[in-house]
Amino acid sequence: MSEIKPLAFYLPQYHPIPENNEWWEEGFTEWTNVTKAKPLYNGHEQPILPADLGFYDLRVEETREHQAKLAKEYGLYGFIYYHYWFGDDKMVLERIAEEVLSSGKPDFPFCFCWANETWSGIWHGLQNQILVEQKYLGKEDIKKHFEYLLPFFQDDRYIKVEGKPVLFIYEPLKIPNSQEYLSQYRQYAKDVGFPDLFIISSSKGVDELDYVALGYDANVSNSYHQAFDRERAEFLKFSLLDRAIGRLFPDYLMNKGPVLIDNVIVNSNIVFRDTNVETYPMVVPNWDNTARSNKRGVVMQNSSPKLFEKEVQKAVRFLSNKSEEHHKFLIIKSWNEWAEGNILEPDRKFGHGYLQALRNCLEEENKNR
């Protein structure tokens, strides 16, 4: 039986960049939002604060080493670094991955998720303002992008499937003529000696899509999003009076929140389903993005390590029934999205609880192998 390999999305932020200085304030990082957060209703637990690792700066190599050591200790196989290429050499938050590459540290597997999404300020107070637009500029830009990625792909730590570098695509449906577009990346990979790329559609695409036709080798299950969206839709059935006011004042409903969702119900409604390519379950330990979005945010109430353990057990059962040839990645969103309250890293309330929940499930699975 092949081994289950947990991979966690990783935000390479937590250090100042010129763009954030311009858009928000000098020295802005995600910690700025985290430490400003306040409770928005009775029983709301904000701010959510880090424990062991503190308010770190990812430019510090020792911090990255500590993260990798912690991840390895609790059974993670690797990190999925978000990678921001907007086209025509425009990138942001590239520094951390570049330092990981050049230093050779930490000695921990990683791959990229191309976060191919336009950055907008709408959720953070900059109404109708595009901060950075995602562009798809064709062959020459694809070549530039691949040439940037190539040194990472060639690194021994970069995660590969049968020799093929793994690349997640955050918004699989945003790429125009995706099969043809992605085939150009594949050809460049073959031209330099790789057998191919192993391209994985992230969880933004519904499970019913034809991922083969779209040009993907595998897919991250959309089942969590389906369960989440069902509960969110129930919450947003506002009264007739609310709707009437909302028609006159569009911001009214958005500022009425935050949206409160019971994570117990969401977890009970998750049913992982196969797609027409290899399918990997995605689990989400917690969520409260009010640190970023204030009243426009969403709070997953009743999140806990105990509930997360049940969610991981469901994902492990789904993977354990797969054939030996299935690559059995278990996707975790996320390692360190602190301003979204979406974390595996130790926090002051639960300590190592979420990490221990993951390890408990993996150890139980190993006993049964």
- Average pLDDT over the chain reads 92
Angle separating helix axes 139-153 and 178-191, nearest 10 degrees: 50
Q: ∠ at Cα 88 (84, 91), nearest 5°?
A: 25
DSSP 350: T
338: containing domain: 5-368
Q: How far apart are CA 242 and CA 139, in angstroms?
A: 49
Total structural domains within the chain: 1
Q: How far apart are CA 192 and CA 147, in angstroms?
A: 10
Q: How far apart are CA 151 and CA 98, in angstroms?
A: 10
Specify the pLDDT at position 189. Answer: 98
Specify the pLDDT at position 2. Answer: 66
Question: Which residue in 320, 316, 354, 313 sits closest to 74, CA to CA?
Answer: 354
Specify the pLDDT at position 232. Answer: 77
pLDDT band at 243; cut points 50, 70, 90: low
* 137 contact partners, CB below 8 Å, separation of at least 6: 87, 88
Contact 63, 10 (CB under 8 A): no
Question: Which residue in 4, 3, 1, 6 sits closest to 355, CA to CA?
Answer: 6
Specify the pLDDT at position 276. Answer: 96
pLDDT of 343-359, one tens digit each?
A: 999 999 999 999 999 99
Q: How far apart are CA 259 and CA 298, in angstroms?
A: 5
Specify the pLDDT at position 244. Answer: 65
| Residue 271: count of CB within 10 angstroms of its CB | 11
pLDDT of 180-203, one tens digit each?
A: 999 999 999 999 999 999 999 999
Contact 30, 339 (CB under 8 A): yes
Tokens describing residue 189: 């990979």
User: Residue 305 belongs to a domain with what CATH number?
Assistant: 3.20.20
Specify the pLDDT at position 296. Answer: 82
pLDDT band at 229; cut points 50, 70, 90: confident
Q: Say whether pLDDT at 51 is over 50.
A: yes
Q: Say whether pLDDT at 128 is over 80.
A: no
Q: Say whether pLDDT at 126 is over 90.
A: no
DSSP 249: -
Secondary structure, 3-state, 253-297: HHHHCCEEEEHHHHHHHCCCCCCCCEEECEECCCCECHHHHHHHC
Specify the pLDDT at position 1. Answer: 45
DSSP 77: -
Q: How far apart are CA 159 and CA 112, in angstroms?
A: 9
Query: What integer is the mean pLDDT of 82-108?
Result: 97
- Higher-confidence residue of 283 and 128: namely 283
Query: Can you say whether residue 162 is alpha, beta or left, with left for phi > 0 and alpha for psi between -120 and 50 degrees?
Result: left
pLDDT of 318-347, one tens digit each?
A: 999 898 889 999 999 999 999 999 999 999
Query: What integer is the mean pLDDT of 242-259?
Result: 67
Q: How far apart are CA 322 and CA 169, in angstroms?
A: 23
pLDDT of 269-325, one tens digit each?
A: 999 999 999 999 999 999 999 999 888 889 999 999 999 999 999 999 999 989 888
Question: Which residue in 193, 94, 215, 76 sits closest to 148, CA to CA?
Answer: 94
